[in-house]
Structure 1
């Protein structure tokens, strides 16, 4: 497992926290109590103080390792776990060297820790080697029949704990994956919100700026005050509409309407002095593609108004494609179209969701072209069973 996964394991199991240590120390301490009678018996039967001290030290180290090994080894690299498990097993073999085969069952503590802590291949290898050594020892001393039940117990407990350790690791990975999915969902929602906010405010503020400039020129010329007042009313209406769309975006219920975007594009282009050549109807566009094409039209017209310096803008529309052309120099529109911001990069993401693609670049004869297209197969998959017919008069 990686370092990040190990850290997540430690956090999930809770061994790094006081509560997590208590969760392990309570059952671990309980099972360690079974070592006490055997330790007391062997210490009292030692026969000499040095031997009694040695027996007490081995038992104490063996029991302490059983208690502290899981909290200390779980978040560590595999090689550290292997070294710790082998050291624990060495203490167990020390007990066998002191007391003989009558203490075989005591190996269950060290073998159990290795089974839980180590990855499955290493757990099988380490505990399998220990069990093979014990079987070989009983065979060599012709005591297999006497201690066969203890060996079977060691085998069954070790196998069970191997599966338990793997289950714990699986649960940890699933929780880590759940956390990662949640993190990605939050990031995606932030990207969606930024993209929608850009689409709403970029177009609305550009149109408001254009109309405000027109009002300023009309007032400075001192003529046609009625038209200036009408443009101011439209600016007020646009501002209110932008506020409504921002609120809808925040609540997540906003969808672009291709019909409304065509009408809005015509008004914005005319206010900026750009000749609009727009389709009069959107009937042929499937309902499933109209929202994304509406976003494409909004962003394309916004770029024409802000960057192109064009005097003419033409929008062509097919069943599965939409194309916007202008005749301007297109100096900075190329940068905006192909950059990494929320503009046309956001449109690429929207089109990718319905299997479509976006093309943007200069035209050989001058001007700039933006084309969104969806393959017919993808359009059939995205289209609902019944498509409403929408159009413009």
Structure 2
């Protein structure tokens, strides 16, 4: 299912406007060549200068937005298209020479900045060095052009500034990706928790309901009054299971060890299994008591459903809880990841307290033993 927070957050209108402003504000520095172009005596030079500068500015903004959108989408900037874009900017700057004369060198500031934002580091460094060397070299080779030290400084400054902007954009993209991954993992964890709780709650309740319904069916002709009592218990258990599901969905579900032991006594008796349960319980931290309650619920559910046992023994110690029976036992060794959804959920719960879940035969080689152990120092 595609949840709203599984998708990347949409870019807000405010952020889009900010992006256009970041690209457009630097066009102010084209005022020098634009002033030169506007004051050309010959109309065609004026037209060439103004036209190329307008095209240069529009192209620069579009290129900046194109690259920025790719970064926000966590997609790489195609190197070939990036090189072509930088080359086109340089070509427009050169094409404006008839109208801007030596002031066209100002466009090199934008070419260098675009190279830093678009190109791989080595390519960008080459472009920046060439842009910084062009003003003094052009002044030496072209009569009437003055050496523009301010352009060299502006090229270097703009390159460093754009390097910072590009790194910031990259870090912001990585941060958004990390946030999206955190949201995805949170959704996955919540789904696993809900599935685990529903399995543990309904698995136990429905097992007891099935056992009592079967018992009521056998007693229907022999002892109708007792059968009616069992049917009443079935109704009560069904309503309790429904309430448990609602509390679980609302994240209000709480498990107590004493409550689970009382439920285990009832379930074992209904299944005709002798229950040897403790009368006194040690004082336990809340988290450990809840874990041991889940262990009793899962263990007794498996005893009633699968074991064919005649006797079930439950022992609770400060560091562990054990549920053992004299039934058929496991068919073979139980790998750590085996045992179905219930034991998998129990292992996940135990792992949060650095606990271990052991499943297998009893020490005498018979029956079945479920043991959940938590270090005593765990609080």
What is the TM-score of this pair, normalised by structure 2?
0.79
Question: How far off its partner does 1:343 sit?
Answer: 1.0
Structure 1 residue 267 and structure 2 residue 266: aligned? yes
Equivalences for residues 232-311 of structure 1 within 5 A: 232-311=231-310
Question: How far off its partner does 1:198 sit?
Answer: 1.1
Provide the residue aligned with 2:365 in structure 1: 365
Aligned partners of 2:204 and 2:41: how far apart in 1? 90
SS in 1 for 2:328: coil
Aligned partners of 1:278 and 1:336: how far apart in 2? 28
Question: How far off its partner does 1:258 sit?
Answer: 0.5
Question: How far off its partner does 1:36 sit?
Answer: 8.1
- CA distance 1:118–1:320, shift in 2 (3 Å): farther
Aligned partners of 1:26 and 1:164: how far apart in 2? 14
Per-residue CA deviation, residues 81-103 of structure 1 (Å, 9 max, x unaligned), is 64245424542663597666532
Contact 2:319 2:376 in 1 (8 A): yes
Aligned partners of 1:41 and 1:179: how far apart in 2? 50
Aligned partners of 1:35 and 1:248: how far apart in 2? 66
Aligned partners of 1:43 and 1:86: how far apart in 2? 26
The answer for unaligned runs of 5 or more in structure 2 is 1-6
Q: 65, 68, 72: which is aligned to 2:66?
A: 72
Per-residue CA deviation, residues 132-152 of structure 1 (Å, 9 max, x unaligned), is 433662696699994112221
- CA distance 1:52–1:362, shift in 2 (3 Å): farther
SS in 2 for 1:314: strand
Question: How far off its partner does 1:300 sit?
Answer: 1.1
- CA distance 1:276–1:132, shift in 2 (3 Å): same
Per-residue CA deviation, residues 185-234 of structure 1 (Å, 9 max, x unaligned), is 122112111111111111111111111111111113x23x3333332332
Contact 2:276 2:312 in 1 (8 A): yes
Contact 1:92 1:110 in 2 (8 A): no
Contact 1:95 1:103 in 2 (8 A): no
SS in 1 for 2:108: helix
- CA distance 1:340–1:265, shift in 2 (3 Å): closer
Contact 1:270 1:276 in 2 (8 A): yes
Aligned partners of 1:88 and 1:370: how far apart in 2? 73
Structure 1 residue 169 and structure 2 residue 203: aligned? no
- CA distance 1:24–1:260, shift in 2 (3 Å): closer
- CA distance 1:201–1:115, shift in 2 (3 Å): same
Equivalences for residues 307-346 of structure 1 within 5 A: 307-330=306-329, 338-339=337-338, 341-346=340-345
Structure 1 residue 189 and structure 2 residue 190: aligned? yes
Provide the residue aligned with 1:154 in structure 2: 155
- CA distance 1:215–1:340, shift in 2 (3 Å): closer
Question: How far off its partner does 1:353 sit?
Answer: 0.8
The answer for unaligned runs of 5 or more in structure 1 is 1-6, 384-393
SS in 2 for 1:77: coil
Contact 1:309 1:330 in 2 (8 A): no
Question: How far off its partner does 1:33 sit?
Answer: 7.4
- CA distance 1:266–1:332, shift in 2 (3 Å): farther
Equivalences for residues 85-100 of structure 1 within 5 A: 86-88=86-88, 90-91=90-91, 94=94
Contact 1:195 1:342 in 2 (8 A): yes
SS in 1 for 2:148: helix
Provide the residue aligned with 1:3 in structure 2: none
Equivalences for residues 184-223 of structure 1 within 5 A: 184-220=185-221, 222-223=222-223
Aligned partners of 2:154 and 2:130: how far apart in 1? 14
- CA distance 1:332–1:303, shift in 2 (3 Å): farther
SS in 1 for 2:286: coil
Aligned partners of 1:162 and 1:178: how far apart in 2? 24
Question: How many aligned positions are there?
Answer: 364
Question: How far off its partner does 1:304 sit?
Answer: 1.3
SS in 2 for 1:366: coil
Contact 2:329 2:360 in 1 (8 A): no
- CA distance 1:19–1:318, shift in 2 (3 Å): closer
SS in 1 for 2:365: coil
SS in 1 for 2:255: coil
